[in-house]
Amino acid sequence: MERISISLPERLLEEFDRILKEKGYVSRSEGIRDAIRSYILEHSFVSQLSGDIAGTISIIYDHDAANVLERLTDAQHDFAEVIDSSLHIHLDRHHCLEVIVVRGDSNKIKQLLNRLKSVKGVKYAKLTTNVTEIPE
């Protein structure tokens, strides 16, 4: 085993510990190991996608973050060819949920996902798809 030390915002750690308690974890290290495993699995799920797909990208972001709206709009315009439509929900005073319906080349969709994830202020971004290799 390797030992690492990481810095986290206090509220993020509190929330993580709350979830660990709810799930019955006795060790924070085990919780972090499982969280990293999920992260890796999610990454492998996305990276194995190929061909044409249809699905949704959900993002949650802080609309007060600098230029976040402009950057998200720019990204969606750059990838308009794989975006069918989007839905915007004002979650609370600061957070917005956007559900983007995507369809087309999986590589383009992955690029879009990464672009959205890289925008500062985006706290969550997930691609969901059940439809791969749409038949002719």
Min dist. Cβ of residue 89 to Ni ion (A) = 7
Q: Collect all residues with Cβ–Cβ distance below 8 Å to 82 and sequence separation of at least 6.
A: 102, 103, 104, 105, 108, 109, 112
Question: Residue with CB nearest Ni ion?
Answer: 96
The CA-CA-CA angle for residues 116, 121, 127, to 5°, reads: 35
Min dist. Cβ of residue 69 to Ni ion (A) = 9
Min dist. Cβ of residue 124 to Ni ion (A) = 14
96 scored as a contact of Ni ion (CB under 5 A): yes
90 scored as a contact of Ni ion (CB under 5 A): yes
37 scored as a contact of Ni ion (CB under 5 A): no
Residues interacting with Ni ion, by CB under 5 A? 90, 96
